[in-house]
Amino acid sequence: MPVALAAQINDPTFDSVWEELKWRGLVHVSTDETELGALLAGDPITFYCGFDPTAPSLHLGNLVQLLTMRRLQLAGHHPLALVGGSTGLIGDPRPTAERTLTARETVAEWVGYLQTQISRFLSFEGESPARLVNNLDWTAPLSAIDFLRDIGKYFRVGTMLKKDAVSARLNSDAGISYTEFSYQILQGLDYLELYRTYGCVLQTGGSDQWGNLTSGTDLIRRAEQTSVHAIGTPLITNSDGTKFGKSEGNAVWLDDQLTSPYAFYQFWLNTDDADVIERLKIFTFLSREELERLESVVASEPFRREAQRSLAYEVTTLVHGSRATDAAIAASAALFGQGDLAGLDESTLRQALGELPTATLPGDTPVLQALVDSGLCGSVGEARRALAQGGVYANNIKLTDSAATVDSLTLAGGIIVLRRGKKTLAGVLIG
């Protein structure tokens, strides 16, 4: 078992995992709460969550589901992690417009990527081992006639039209194709198949997927004359109402090639005071006692930003490992003069520069011009005055020679970190 998984525990101060899930704010909507509480407090059950391969990586919204699954697994329940090789070919309806269908070969490739990522967050050994499943395995052999006769007959069009995602599209200029309209039938089929094959009786997902989650519970009720359950976790938004994890339309990815460990760490470090305790509850395994202590610190000494540092450390370590987290912390400190930039490896330096204004310049560029080209100064004259006043640094060393060229200042990989004053940074790459 990976070290990161071995270090995770559910808080023993809660009577059940259901109580802990509710305390952590992970239950926005669900089927019968009393029945669910009893179910999760009893003998181990099998549950599942689905992840569609709509990109080559999972993102922070998916991480909510993965950690919810891990909490249930730690309580002794058996996870099924479903990667949608078939539903990824169709696409869950978006509120505004039809999805562009992704090539079959690309979807198959992304399935592999997602399965690898999911495997880092669940244990596949021990008394409650996880299992990876792909819904293409049971949908691909189905003929259209079998699909309509054996599955479609249980669905009522009136009910399907009332689903939020469908009704939003019906009322839009884009409308909705039969392809995307049928998505909820496919997701319902997944739950039925997992119920029949593994005895799965619980599905988790985001609350925005509630219509799709209940398509499965309804199908099983009609086809098998029994009740199963679903939990919808809340959509995570910032205290100002903006969508969590998005900045100018860019997701925060779990893949280190799409979002570097340094950028990932900085994302969490920049969490607002009003949001940080909620984030700690959802995204870490810190105990209730520790979270209550951090909540007190946020209220009394917010300037310490201890809660943000705990959040950034815990989540970055969970996703990228302690070595990458330590490198991100060292880079963050060194950029602002509290560490040795020369001691950082080239990869970490480049990650850090990815978050700064950066200019690529010839090696013979005068440093005064570099200050202008990197955006730290508005003109060579302003750069000369800033340097004369002792407010310009290259790699945390105060610059005094106005005739210096950038090639005399480089770190590993032809990188230079320029700083004006205490906090205004930019990068230069020799090229």
126 and 269 share one domain: no
pLDDT at 376 (0 to 100): 95
Domain closes at, from 235, 264, 280: 235
The pLDDT score that the predictor gives to residue 282 is: 98
Tens of pLDDT, residues 43-89? 999 999 999 999 999 999 999 999 999 999 999 999 999 999 999 99
**Under 8 Å CB-to-CB from 238, ≥6 apart: which residues?**
244, 272, 275
The answer as to whether 153 is a domain residue is: yes
pLDDT confidence tier of residue 317, bands split at 50, 70 and 90: very high
If asked whether residues 314 and 179 sit together in one domain, one would say no
Run of H or E residues at 425: strand 424-430
CATH of the domain at 282: 1.10.240.10
Based on the fold, state whether residues 345 and 404 are members of the same structural domain: no
Specify the higher pLDDT residue, 213 or 97.
213
Please check whether residue 156 lies inside any domain of the structure: yes
pLDDT, the chain, mean: 92
Mean local confidence (pLDDT), 282-303? 97
Give 201's pLDDT tier (boundaries 50, 70, 90): very high
DSSP 375-400: TS-SSHHHHHHHHHTT-EEETTEE--
**Residues 204, 282 share a domain:** no
Convert 128-155 to b/e letters by CB count within 10 Å (16 or more is b): bebebbbbbebbeeeeeeeeeeebeebb
251 inside domain: no
Q: 22 and 70: one domain?
A: yes
Beta sheet of 131-134, edge-to-edge order: 29-30, 229-233, 200-206, 46-51, 78-83, 131-134
According to the model, what pLDDT value does residue 2 have?
55
What is the structure's pLDDT at 193?
98
Residues 6+ apart with CB under 8 A from 235: 28, 206, 207, 208, 243, 244
- Total domains in the fold of the chain: 3
Contact 50, 114 (CB under 8 A): no
Judge if 26 and 148 occupy the same domain: yes
User: Does the pLDDT of residue 305 top 70, yes or no?
Assistant: yes
pLDDT interval class at 247 (50, 70, 90)? low
pLDDT above 80 for 298: yes
Q: Which phi and psi angles does 49 have, rounded to 5°?
A: -140, 140
Cα angle 93, 240, 277 (rounded to 5 degrees) comes to 100
CA distance 120 to 66: 10
Last residue of a domain, one of 354, 372, 395: 354
Residue 206, pLDDT above cutoff 60: yes
Could you give the CA distance from residue 419 to residue 381 in angstroms, rounded to a whole number? 17
Percentage of the chain exceeding pLDDT 70: 97
CB 349 within 8 A of CB 411: yes
Question: Does 246 score more than 70 pLDDT?
Answer: no
Q: CB under 8 Å to 82, separation ≥6 — which residues?
A: 48, 49, 50, 51, 133, 134, 135, 190, 194
**Across 261-289, average pLDDT:** 96
Same domain (yes/no): 52, 177:
yes
> Which region among 137-141, 354-358, 382-386 has the lowest average model confidence (pLDDT)?
354-358
Domain assignment of residue 430, given as a range = 356-431
| Residue 275, pLDDT above cutoff 90 | yes
CA–CA dist 183, 178 (Å, integer): 9
Residue 164 lies in a domain: yes
**The domain that contains 406 carries what CATH number?**
3.10.290.10
Q: Are residues 273 and 382 in the same domain?
A: no
Please give the pLDDT value at position 93: 83
Cα–Cα distance for residue pair 383/371, rounded to 1 Å: 6
Identity (one letter) of the amino acid at 349? L
- What does the pLDDT read at residue 11? 83
Q: Which two tokens mark 102?
A: 């992704």
* Over residues 283-288, mean pLDDT: 97
Nearest in space to 262 (alpha carbons), one of 427, 117, 61, 51: 427
Length of the chain counted residue by residue: 431
Question: How high is the pLDDT of residue 4?
Answer: 64
Q: Write the CATH number for 111.
A: 3.40.50.620
Among 203, 235, 267, identify where a domain stops.
235
Query: Domain check: are 115 and 226 in the same one?
Result: yes
| pLDDT at res. 237 | 87
DSSP 172-220: SSS---HHHHTHHHHHHHHHHHHHHHH-EEEEEEEGGGHHHHHHHHHHH
Name the β-bridge partners of 425. Answer: 419
Residue 192 domain-assigned?
yes
Task: Please tell me whether residues 139 and 19 are part of one structural domain.
Answer: yes
CB 412 within 8 A of CB 345: yes
Residue 248 domain-assigned (yes or no)? no
* More reliable by pLDDT, 238 or 277: 277
Reported for 326-330, long-range contacts at CB under 8 A and 24+ positions apart, including other chains, are 327/261, 327/262, 328/261, 328/262, 328/264, 328/265, 328/266, 329/265
Specify whether 40 is located in the same domain as 121.
Answer: yes
Note whether residue 185 is domain-resident: yes
Pair (162, 44) in one structural domain: yes
Mean pLDDT on 113-127? 95
What pLDDT is stored for residue 136 in this prediction?
97
pLDDT at site 363: 93
pLDDT digits (tens, 9 = 90+) for 370-396: 999 999 999 999 999 999 999 999 999
What is the pLDDT, as a whole number, of residue 248? 53
